[in-house]
């Protein structure tokens, strides 16, 4: 009962923090972490220990899975070169650079364990970066690269962390053993992801009940990561591969009711998990500080050195990476050209998240034969926490202002509207053709209504190209239909209260009206 009460308190604080963040216009991870920092010093507030297994097995897989489901595979494939440069190359480069710097300052710590720290702090968490990017209207390609980086870099960092800690503990030495570790982690994760895609894709195809379909979608990331960990493979790689493949095939795997329900379901899951985890990150501050036994001068010095290294290495990697490949004619033909604005923004979007702290808490306790620790684990955990705090508070709060200063132009919405309208016109022709082929026995009034609906949808798509400031017919329809829906609801509610209809009839009518209103809202947002 006591643990349940604590969980309810955490969820309540997380929801309050998210609501406050939306009210003041700041990203919820930043607000929740600050609230957690403050609460960690409140006398009597419950102390929470963030178990790395809880994050790496219980939180990270579903978050990565839903992100992969919603990632455009064609866009991912088109931007594969910059995504791999950031998600793999930059992580390895950063880990080695941080490892070298930390080893210089703390020579008693073996280089392998210093590289492990580098792997811990190397992967940026794109939850905050992509949220800001979408809100301030950064180009779609930049958002795709940030999202793709977040899907790849966690897997790269955790595989590198596993190899580095194995080398530090003496369980993997030599290039041969290291190669086997990497092949088993990454290659095994890819293989398990492919098998999981076939198995769960078949199940999604067979299941027709939306509740069962969504229950299966919740189980998939956990099943994949558990099997991967038991096999010694990378669960993160397996989950990402499964999510990308299933997401690309989702329109043909799931019925419309399942897809609609899954969208709402996963938005709630992501909201609660992200809020809970960033709150827990802030709540760790007091415990992290109390565990420090190293002189604070050394702690502050190595922490500042690591933060500086992270900033420098990201720009050192991103700036040449944006222009050097342009020397290849084949790449120039395949990809649109980066301007100087793109790498500058990419370099600033380097916020770290909960994976960094969870990976730090998973660092092994390595000691000598006399039982003395060969590296200051408490300092390494403090560094990870400080990196999260600094990057979220500094980069997270200044990225919108920085993007405006750089002046990166947003995507031209006219191109999207024109593409949508042309495809909608083709879809209308296909719909009319299918309608005309199945007219037998249908009432003329129904056929006339369906024909008009096709025309209305096509006109709505073309209306978006107008943009003359006047209310379009579709906007007027949405405004007036909303008033009609409100009036219908009132009549049904009054009839229920007066006993003229049972509750089941009210619920059925409200469900239909709610679905229609959600379509109106979605149309306004688009």
pLDDT at position 100: 94
Angle at 271 between CA 265 and CA 273, to 5 degrees: 100
Residue 133 to residue 126: CA distance in whole angstroms? 10
Nearest to 168 by CA among 382, 305, 362: 362
Where would I find the beta strands (DSSP E) of 99-142? Answer: none
Please list the pLDDT of the chain residue by residue as tens digits (526 residues): 566 777 788 888 889 998 998 888 777 888 888 898 888 888 877 777 777 788 888 888 898 898 888 888 888 888 888 888 898 999 999 999 999 999 999 998 889 899 999 999 999 876 666 666 666 667 788 888 888 888 888 888 888 888 888 777 765 555 556 667 777 788 889 999 999 999 999 999 988 888 898 899 999 999 999 999 888 888 888 999 999 999 988 888 888 778 878 888 888 888 888 888 888 888 887 888 888 888 888 899 999 999 999 999 999 998 887 676 666 666 666 666 667 777 888 888 888 887 787 788 888 876 554 445 677 888 998 999 899 889 988 888 888 788 788 777 766 667 767 777 778 788 888 888 888 888 777 888 888 888 888 877 777 777 666 655 567 777 788 888 888 999 999 999 999 888 889 888 888 888 888 888 877 766 555 5
What are the residues facing 367 on neighbouring strands?
A: 373
Q: What DSSP designation does 254 have?
A: S
Give the Cα separation of 88 and 390 in Å (integer): 23
Torsion of CA 172, 175, 178, 184, to 10 degrees: -130
Task: Read off the pLDDT of residues 109-126 as tens digits, 9 standing for 90 and up.
Answer: 889 899 999 999 999 876
Structure tokens at 383: 């560094």
Give the residue from 236, 212, 230 showing the smallest Cα distance to 160. Answer: 236
Distance of CA 242 to the CA centre of its chain: 15
Q: What is the DSSP letter of 367?
A: B
Cα dist from 405 to 97, 409, 503, whole Å: 30, 11, 56
Q: At what angle do helices 91-105 and 140-168 cross, to 10 degrees?
A: 50
Beta partners for residue 373, in sequence order = 367
Alpha helical stretches, state H, 372-443: 377-390, 396-406, 413-436
Comparing C-alpha atoms, which of 19, 22, 55, 130 is closest to residue 280? 55
* pLDDT tens, position by position, 353-376: 877 877 888 888 765 544 456 778
pLDDT at site 373? 61
Q: Given this model, what pLDDT does residue 124 score?
A: 87
Taken in order 388, 391, 393, 399, the sign of the CA dihedral is negative
Distance CA(492)–CA(228), nearest Å, equals: 52
């Amino acid at each position: 009962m006591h643990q349940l009460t604590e969980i309810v308190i955490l969820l309540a604080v997380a929801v309050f923090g998210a609501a406050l963040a939306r009210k003041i216009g700041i990203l919820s991870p930043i607000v929740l972490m600050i609230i957690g920092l403050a609460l960690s010093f409140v006398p009597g507030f419950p102390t929470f220990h963030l178990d790395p297994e809880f994050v790496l097995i219980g939180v990270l897989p579903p978050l990565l899975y839903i992100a992969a489901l919603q990632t455009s595979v064609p866009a991912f494939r088109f931007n594969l070169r910059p995504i791999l440069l950031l998600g793999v190359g930059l992580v390895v480069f950063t880990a080695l650079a941080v490892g070298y710097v930390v080893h210089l300052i703390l020579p008693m710590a073996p280089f392998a364990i210093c590289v492990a720290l580098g792997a811990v702090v190397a992967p940026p968490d794109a939850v905050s970066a992509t949220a800001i990017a979408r809100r301030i209207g950064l180009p779609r390609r930049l958002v795709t690269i940030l999202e793709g980086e977040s899907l790849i870099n966690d897997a790269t960092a955790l595989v590198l962390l596993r190899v580095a800690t194995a080398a530090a503990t003496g369980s993997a030495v030599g290039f041969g053993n290291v190669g086997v570790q990497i092949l088993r982690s990454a290659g095994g994760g890819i293989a398990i992801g492919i098998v999981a895609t076939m198995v769960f894709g078949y199940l999604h195809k067979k299941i027709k009940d939306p509740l069962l379909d969504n229950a299966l979608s919740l189980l998939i990331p956990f099943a994949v990561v558990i099997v991967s960990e038991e096999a010694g493979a990378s669960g993160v790689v397996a989950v990402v591969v499964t999510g990308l493949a299933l997401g690309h095939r989702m329109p043909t795997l799931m019925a419309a009711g399942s897809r609609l329900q899954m969208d709402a379901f996963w938005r709630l899951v992501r909201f609660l998990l992200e809020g809970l985890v960033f709150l827990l990150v802030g709540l760790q501050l007091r415990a992290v500080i109390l565990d420090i036994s190293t002189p604070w001068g050394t702690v502050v010095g190595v922490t500042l050195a690591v933060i500086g290294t992270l900033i420098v290495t990201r720009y050192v990697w991103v700036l040449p990476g944006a222009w050097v490949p342009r020397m290849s004619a084949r790449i120039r033909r395949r990809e649109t050209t980066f301007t100087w604005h793109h790498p500058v923004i990419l370099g600033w979007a380097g916020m770290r998240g909960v994976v960094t702290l969870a990976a730090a808490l998973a660092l092994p306790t390595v000691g000598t034969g006399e039982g003395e620790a060969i590296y200051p684990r408490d300092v390494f955990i403090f560094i990870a926490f400080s990196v999260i705090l600094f990057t979220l508070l500094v980069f997270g709060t200044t990225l919108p202002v920085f993007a405006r200063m750089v002046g990166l132009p947003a995507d031209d919405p006219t191109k999207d509207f024109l593409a949508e309208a042309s495809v909608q016109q083709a879809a209308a022709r296909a719909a009319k053709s299918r309608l005309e082929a199945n007219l037998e026995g249908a009432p003329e009034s129904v056929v006339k209504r369906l024909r008009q609906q096709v025309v209305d949808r096509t006109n709505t798509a073309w209306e978006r190209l107008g943009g003359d400031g006047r209310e379009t017919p579709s906007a007027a329809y949405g405004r007036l239909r909303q008033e009609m829906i409100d009036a219908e609801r009132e009549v049904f509610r009054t009839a229920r209260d007066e006993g003229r209809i049972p509750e089941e009839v009210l619920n059925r009518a409200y469900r239909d009206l709610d679905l229609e209103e959600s379509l109106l809202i979605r149309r306004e947002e688009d």
